[in-house]
Copies of this chain bind each other. A is one copy, B any other.
Amino acid sequence: MNLNEIIKAARGEKPADLLVTNARIINVFTGEIVTGSLAVSEGYFIGFGDYTATKTIDAGNRFVAPGFIDPHVHIESSMACPTEFARAILVNGTTCIAADPHEIANVMGIEGINYMLKSAEHQPMNFYFTLSSCVPATDMETSGAVITARDLRSFIGNEKIVALAEMMNYPGVINGDPDVLAKIQAAKHHNKPVDGHAPGLRGRELNAYLSAGVGSDHECTTVSEAREKLEAGMRIMIRQGTGARNLEALLPIINAKTARRLMWCTDDRHPHDLLDEGHIDVIIRDAIGAGLDPVTAIQMATINPADYFRLDHLGAIAPGRQADFVIISDLSSLTVEQVYCRGINVAVNGEMQPDIEKPKPIPSRSSMNLNPAEVDFSIPVEGRRLRVMDIVPDQLITRHSVDDISPADGLAVSDPSRDLLKIAVVERHQGSGNIGKAFVRGLRLKKGAIASSVAHDSHNIVVVGTSDDDMKAAVKTVVDMEGGLAAIVDDKPVATLPLPIAGLMSLEPLEKIRNRMDQLIEVSRDLGSSLKDPYMTLSFLALPVIPELKITDKGLIDVNQFKVVPLFIDA
């Protein structure tokens, strides 16, 4: 930023770099739409009015809004690396994100956070991060790292870190866990906000959580919950992700008085939704479609998150702010025709401009610390019946049921005829040899096996199969790829998605990731599964914070009891 040159241009003593004329400018400060011109110099807005400029573009009476900001997103959910994620969302008008690198932090700890910070450099958009607060998420699983308050203190002052990331450990806060409170206080000490994550938390427990200094929440699902949190001082991020979609339910909380405390966020969006629907733009579009004032909807995506994160140089069209803006054909369809970031035209009609440099994605070290040949999937029979995880289609919960075993040579084996399939979570971080083994119903594979190194929250390798050999081949395929998704038939991979960055992210563009996902899902259909996305289902079977029965590398977890339980009963 050459401030002297900017000031000169603002005074009109030298031509601006860019003048956008005939623009209907969304002014997020006054809430009004003002027709006029705006000038840009050195990547910053310098003012409204008729400046001379080396380049002029005619907005043709289209709308010009600030670039959109996503205040809470996990890049890893797209399976794209930061370089490719940036390109996928920039075309939709998102010019800034505050990403929580929670997934890679669970795999690689501080090294993972550093990887994301490094990968965010030289991108054609603004990357900020929130500092993952809950690594590991629980002690019911083996993660790749533990991040303590002491670790966070060395990062929280970083200018690219805008907040402490979602404090999911609300029981820890409410119970005054010293390390948890120390993390919050580290953020407060640097005058940075603390993002919350408190689904359903109400009343005195909410008060206790907020007393510790939590500033936002993105987990509201009802008007009543959102109103209570808003009144108690939380800024509410209305989330519209791939799984959780809260826009429709929460629209009634938005009005002229509350809007300043509200934002949109995506949290988690998978490749299909990013490519087919969009990013923050689709939330604004849907909100306007549902009757919300367009300027309010845009404020919630621009000045509100900028204010929340104290990013005074972003979120508005005004002198002194970075020239991040979108040109929109009309406000009801909210078609983002052009995207500018730092004064540069980065995308037109949904395509990146060919001259925009694409920073080379950074490879990561291997995050696979296991020898697939040594993994033993056999389950000796130790009782007459066993616990089974029953998948509930389209939901993250499972039902805890009990069924007879299918024995063979003294071992409990997969029995596709009863849709009783063996599932295992193989620890991949510490070389511990840990493996959790159990049975799941609802995947309906008739043959082969599928495996994934995306398995919330610790991202060990989760594998389901009709035979131990196929399961072994699936794990070997994942390990050989340095992480990823694999479908196996007759010991051979038939579809794969390599995710060599921490076993979570690809180096390929989002379109390629989607195509490979399509193949993987198509194969899963051939193998017999009717689930919409069995890999997503698989990844949440390993998450021990959502009821009822889950599996980690430590074994079967009864989530209601929050403890490891034996596979067999009636021993």
**Interface 9-mer from A237-245, A318-326, A479-487:** A318-326
In whole angstroms, what is the CA distance A170 to B165 when docked?
A: 39
Whether B191 contacts A7 by the Cβ 8 Å rule is no
Per the 8 Å Cβ criterion, residues 236-282 of A in contact with B are 256-258, 260-261
- Say which size band chain A's interface belongs to: 35 or more
Q: Closest B residue to A295 by CB, please name it.
A: B257
Interface presence of A212 (CB below 8 A): yes
In whole angstroms, what is the CA distance A7 to B213 when docked?
A: 10
Whether A231 contacts B29 by the Cβ 8 Å rule is yes
| Residues of B with C-beta under 8 A to A10 | 204, 207-208, 210-211
Whether A319 contacts B210 by the Cβ 8 Å rule is yes
Interface presence of A31 (CB below 8 A): yes
Per the 8 Å Cβ criterion, residues 219-233 of A in contact with B are 227, 230-233
| Residues of B with C-beta under 8 A to A11 | 174, 204-205, 207-208
**Interface 9-mer from A45-53, A144-152, A394-402, A488-496:** A45-53
| A4-B176, A208-B10 given; A193·B319 CB < 8 A | no
In whole angstroms, what is the CA distance A232 to B319 when docked?
A: 6
| A193-B312, A312-B193 given; A30·B257 CB < 8 A | yes
| Residues of B with C-beta under 8 A to A376 | none
| A174-B11, A232-B48 given; A210·B320 CB < 8 A | yes
| A34-B231, A230-B30, A231-B27 given; A207·B319 CB < 8 A | yes
| Residues of B with C-beta under 8 A to A313 | 213
Per the 8 Å Cβ criterion, residues 483-524 of A in contact with B are none
Per-position binary interface string of chain A over residues 16-52, scored 1 when its CB falls under 8 Å from any chain B CB and 0 otherwise: 0000000000010111101000000000101111000
| Residues of B with C-beta under 8 A to A203 | 49
| Residues of B with C-beta under 8 A to A261 | 29
A215 to chain B, nearest CB (A): 7
Residues of A whose CB lies within 8 Å of any CB of B are: 3-4, 6-8, 10-12, 27, 29-32, 34, 44, 46-49, 159, 173-174, 176, 181, 185, 191, 193, 203-208, 210-215, 227, 230-233, 256-258, 260-261, 307, 310, 312-313, 316, 318-321
Q: Which 3 A-B pairs have the closest CB atoms?
A: A31-B257, A233-B318, A47-B207
